[in-house]
Structure 1
Amino acid sequence: MRPLRYSINVTLDGCCHHEAGLPPDEESMRYWTEAIAEAGALIYGRVTYEMMEAAWRRPDSGDWPDWMGKMETPFAEAIDAARKYVVSSTLTDTDWNATVIDADLISAIRSLKDEPGERLSVGGVALPSALADLGLIDEYEFVVHPVVAGHGPTLLAGLREHVGLELVDRREFRSGAVALSYRPAAKAR
C-alpha cells in the first residue's frame, strides 16, 4: 500500500498561508523539488490545485516566465510533470496531467493507496484536514518556519479528534526552518 503524506510549510503559530513563511531559498526549493519528484502522485483540493496550476504550469509557449530563475525552474518542471488528482465537486475537467475525484472521497483515496507505485502527497489546508479526520494520512511533513504570522489559515484547524504523532525524521535548514516528519503514533511502530 502506498502511504499518503501531508506536506506543508507552516509558521511557528500554525499559519499555513503560502506567503506567511520565509521566502523560498535555494535549499528549500531543492527540498520541495525532491519531495514532488519522489511522489507517485499529488492530491489537491480545487483551490490549491488552481493556485499551483496558475503558478507552476508550463506556459503554452514552452518557455518559463521571466520571474522564474534557476532556483524555481526545477520545482516547476517537477510539479508540471507530476500526476495529479483534484478533489472537487465543482470542477468537471482538468488538463494539467490531472484527474478529478468527485465521488466518494474515502473509496477514491483508498483505491489510490492500493495501487502500486510511490507514495502519494497531499497539500493544501481543507482537504488534508478532511483526510486526517478520516484517518487516511500516513505521514505528516511540516516545514516549520521561524516566523509568527499572527493571522491566516491554521494547520489542521477543526479536527474532530486528537491525532497523536511520533517524530520519525528531522532536518534543519540554514534559514532556521526545520522539516519535521511524523507518523500517527499507532502507525509509527
Structure 2
Amino acid sequence: MRPTAVQPLRYAINVTLDGCCHHEAGLPPDAESMAFWTDELRRSDTLLYGRVTYEMMQSAWRRPASGVWPDWMDAADIAFADVIDAIPKSVVSNTLEVVDWNAERTNGDLRTAVEALKARPGRGISLGGVALPAALAELGLIDEYTFVVHPVVAGRGPRLLDGLHDQLALELVERREFASGAVAQRYRPAAVPIGTSVPTGGSGA
C-alpha cells in the first residue's frame, strides 16, 4: 500500500551571523526581502506559531477593523500583510483559551498534534518562531529549513534552534543573495546524519 502523503513543514526565519533570531536584530526590511517573505508564505496553506509569535505577528499584520492598512505600510508591506492576514493559522498553546485572526488553537501532545496537522490535505505548513521550531526539530518533524542570514552580529538575543540535544545534519538545496548583503539559504534534512559511515561497496569479507 502506498504511504499516505503528508504536507511538508517548512521553517523559515531571519538570523544574524551569531545566530540571533530576535525580531529587532538584523537589517531593516526592504522591498526585496519583503517580496521574498511574501513568496515564502504563498508556498503554504497554514501558518504554525507558538503563542508568542502568534501574538507578535497579529499585532503587526492583522488587518485593522477599518479595513484600511496604516500609512506606514508601502506596497511591499501591504502585499505581505494581505497574504499573512488571509492564511489560516494554527497556534500551539496550553495557555490561550481563545484565538482568532483566522486561527485555531492546538494543544496536548506536540508530536501528535503536528502530525495530525501535516496529515491534512494541503501544499505545506509554514512554521515561525524560535522555541516551537526547536521542539519540532528535536522531534524530527521539520522537512525544510530556510535561514535568511543577515551581515550583522547581534551580540544578544534568542538563538537559532537553541536547546537541541543532537546534531542536526542538513543539505543545502538553494542559495540566494540579496542586494542588502543578506543571504537566503534553504536546507533539507540530510539523508545520512553527520558522523554516520557510508558503505563504499565491496563484500566486507
Deviations along 1:67-123, one digit per CA (max 9) or x if unpaired, are 112120000010000110000000111110100001221111111111111111111
Of 53, 70, 95, which aligns to 1:90?
95
Match of 1:59 in 2: 64
Match of 1:13 in 2: 18
RMSD: 1.2
Alignment partners' CA distance in 2, 1:110 and 1:187 = 23
1:99 aligns with 2:131: no
Partner-residue secondary structure (3-state), 1:72: helix
1:3 aligns with 2:8: yes
Which consecutive residues of structure 2, in runs of 5 or more, have no partner in the other structure?
A: 1-5, 194-205
| TM-score, normalization by structure 2 | 0.89
Alignment partners' CA distance in 1, 2:99 and 2:189 = 33
Identity of aligned residues (%): 64
Match of 2:143 in 1: 138
Q: Supply the AA of the counterpart residue of 2:94.
A: S
> 1:180: Cα distance to partner?
0.4
Of 138, 162, 167, which aligns to 1:162?
167
Deviations along 1:134-187, one digit per CA (max 9) or x if unpaired, are 110111100001111111111011111111111011111111111001111028
1:29 aligns with 2:34: yes
Alignment partners' CA distance in 1, 2:104 and 2:130 = 20
| TM-score, normalization by structure 1 | 0.97
Moved over 3 A (4+): none
Q: Supply the AA of the counterpart residue of 1:145.
A: H
Distance 1:187 1:98, change over 3 A: farther
Partner-residue secondary structure (3-state), 2:47: strand
**How many residues in Structure 1 have an aligned counterpart in Structure 2?**
188
Q: Supply the AA of the counterpart residue of 2:41.
A: I
Which consecutive residues of structure 1, in runs of 5 or more, have no partner in the other structure?
A: none
Asked which structure has the greater CA Rg, the reply is 2
Partner-residue secondary structure (3-state), 1:22: coil
